[in-house]
Chain A
Amino acid sequence: MNANLQRFPNPLTMPVEPVSPARTPNSRGKVGPASVERIVRPVPPAATKVGLNDISLSYRTQTGTRLLALDHINLQVRTGEFLCIVGPSGCGKSTLLHLIAGLHPQTSGEIRIDGKPVQGPGTDRILIFQDHGLFPWLTVGQNVEFGMKMKGVPKAERQEKTRYYLRLVHLAKFENSYIHQLSGGMRQRVAIARALATEPDVLLMDEPFAALDAQTRDLLHDELERIWADTGRTIIFVTHNVREAVRLGDRVVLLTFRPGRIKSEFPVALPRPRHLEDPAVAGAARKILDELREEINRSLEAEYQEGVKPHIDPQQETEIEEKARV
């Protein structure tokens, strides 16, 4: 269908680094200076784009108890890799993206991009939010232009790139429209164009297609795969939809229900382009789903016992987290 799709390195031939369980039982949930018990690691090799080293996050809930949201996450993402993270609601997968984006500090551990520690937000990593986060007071074109404007890119270059990226997501005709005039799928495409226009190395996608209908989502899967192939970006894609993860990812990482830990990793060695309905995709998804189901059951149990919805959206989580820090 698209010649570019043949350029992918075969995920099968790529080595998958094993995740070392770098956690001692009594260190779990302990909050304190990261340096005390951080395991000293060599600087990751050049092929590692995003390195998550012993990332933990805890925050105080409204009732005053401390809740461990992320528990010693160790994950290395290779340059150009399409990594999917799945997990039940409330496993902290969205929060993890916010941490990588530098929007919130982790309680302990270190995030490295190209070996350099993350300190706050940077345009080398752009987060695409579930509800797109586009600016309704700007036109589509101005939204796409925004990151470049903040960087101080000259106007002519900005406009040229804006048009280029809008063409890439097939929205060239809508440059002067406002966001509310677009459909949900179009909005997500603008969000993708806006993210790409700042030319980040890493795209962080937080359930970007969760609110879309099935047909639109299929279409955007194809487009995202094409864009990924064309631009060679590293993508970390969070979803609760296992099939979507298998459809898109080179590797799928499964997080446990609260506290979020890496339960297992699944390299996806299926040839591209893939389709959501491929039996092979469904088969691979079933394996992951079986493990995910345990976690979903745990989350339901927690719901039953606590009498509260286990789902904590990242917004809420970060708000609680912010309060805890004040």
Chain B
Amino acid sequence: MKRVARYVIFYGALFGLWTILAKLKIWPPYLFPTPWGVAEALYTGFQDHTYWIAIRVSVQRVLIGYGISVVLGMILGLGVASNKFLEETMGGLLVSLQSLPSICWWPLALLWFGLNQNAILFVVIMGSLLSVTLAMEDGRKQMPKIFGQAGRNLGAKGFKLFWYVLLPASLPFIVSGLKQGWAFAWRSLITAEMLYLSLGLGQVLMMGRDLNDMSAVIAVMFLIIAIGYIVDGVVFKGMERHLQNKWGLTATA
């Protein structure tokens, strides 16, 4: 109950401050919209299906891009973790590459893939692949050795060993990395969409700018936050809780 009260007070105050600032009309309304202006923009956006289409396109893109990242990242991470040569060479490269914002790949992606969806996917993959790879590498190393030994002992080898033992055994150690990869993928996608008109939430946001409609811009920002938050709070939290229950871990894995 107390937590709910705290939420209400905090968000109520934030909302109130926003309303007052907007009401004072320090800035013109098209630069600093009121909360109900944003609500209206949200309503009309959903009403004329603009937002539904944008969400569908963006979510589809991020799922494809992130999915590819997860598969590739797990293979790469496992390779790096289990091969001394790769670890010494590629390991360092991966860490240094992580400091590069994924949108820096955009010019190259445009030249390589042209102005299309593939260029956007490339940027999304470059944004999240490294996180997943590093998480998998780390998870594979943190995973107690006994699981691999027990698996081999019970006759698992090759792909079966990976799929039935190494992967599930390292999951608690890579969930946070997967989550981080998701966040990077989502951000990279929106950035790329803002640079290139191609449906999607990023484009709708830029459209708001072009029309000088800050209500629409803020409305789309809310949508981007909401989707990111839902995936984080529902999908990943659920996964973490599920793993904790199975493994009997009390703290976050």
By a beta-carbon cutoff of 8 Å, the part of chain A in contact with chain B is: 98, 101, 103, 121-123, 126-127, 129, 131, 133-138, 146-147, 149-151, 178-181, 194, 198, 315, 318-319, 326
**How far does the alpha carbon of A178 sit from the alpha carbon of B248 in the complex, in Å?**
8
By a beta-carbon cutoff of 8 Å, the part of chain B in contact with chain A is: 84, 145-147, 149-150, 152-157, 160, 164-165, 168-169, 171, 243, 245-248
Establish whether residues B153 and A137, one from each chain, have CB atoms under 8 Å apart when the complex forms: no
**Can you list 27 residue pairs at the A/B interface with Cβ under 8 Å?**
A101-B153, A103-B153, A121-B153, A121-B157, A123-B154, A126-B154, A127-B149, A127-B150, A129-B146, A134-B150, A135-B165, A135-B168, A137-B168, A137-B246, A137-B247, A146-B154, A146-B164, A150-B164, A151-B155, A178-B245, A178-B246, A178-B247, A178-B248, A179-B248, A180-B248, A181-B248, A198-B154
Instruction: Across the interface, name the chain B residue whose C-beta is closest to A191.
Output: B150
* Nearest 3 Cβ contacts at the A-B interface: A180-B248, A133-B150, A147-B154
**How far does the alpha carbon of A326 sit from the alpha carbon of B156 in the complex, in Å?**
23
A-chain residues with CB within 8 Å of residue B157 when the two chains form the complex:
121
**How far does the alpha carbon of A318 sit from the alpha carbon of B146 in the complex, in Å?**
11
Establish whether residues B165 and A126, one from each chain, have CB atoms under 8 Å apart when the complex forms: no
**How far does the alpha carbon of A101 sit from the alpha carbon of B152 in the complex, in Å?**
10
Instruction: Across the interface, name the chain B residue whose C-beta is closest to A179.
Output: B248
Establish whether residues A121 and B152, one from each chain, have CB atoms under 8 Å apart when the complex forms: yes
B-chain residues with CB within 8 Å of residue A315 when the two chains form the complex:
145-146
B-chain residues with CB within 8 Å of residue A131 when the two chains form the complex:
146
Establish whether residues A121 and B147, one from each chain, have CB atoms under 8 Å apart when the complex forms: no
Establish whether residues A133 and B156, one from each chain, have CB atoms under 8 Å apart when the complex forms: no
B-chain residues with CB within 8 Å of residue A98 when the two chains form the complex:
149
B-chain residues with CB within 8 Å of residue A133 when the two chains form the complex:
146-147, 149-150
A-chain residues with CB within 8 Å of residue B153 when the two chains form the complex:
101, 103, 121, 126-127
Instruction: Across the interface, name the chain B residue whose C-beta is closest to A121.
Output: B152
Instruction: Across the interface, name the chain A residue whose C-beta is closest to B243.
Output: A137
Instruction: Across the interface, name the chain A residue whose C-beta is closest to B152.
Output: A121
Q: Which of B153, B243, B248 has the most CB of A within 10 A?
A: B153
**Shortest Cβ gap from B150 to chain A (Å):** 4
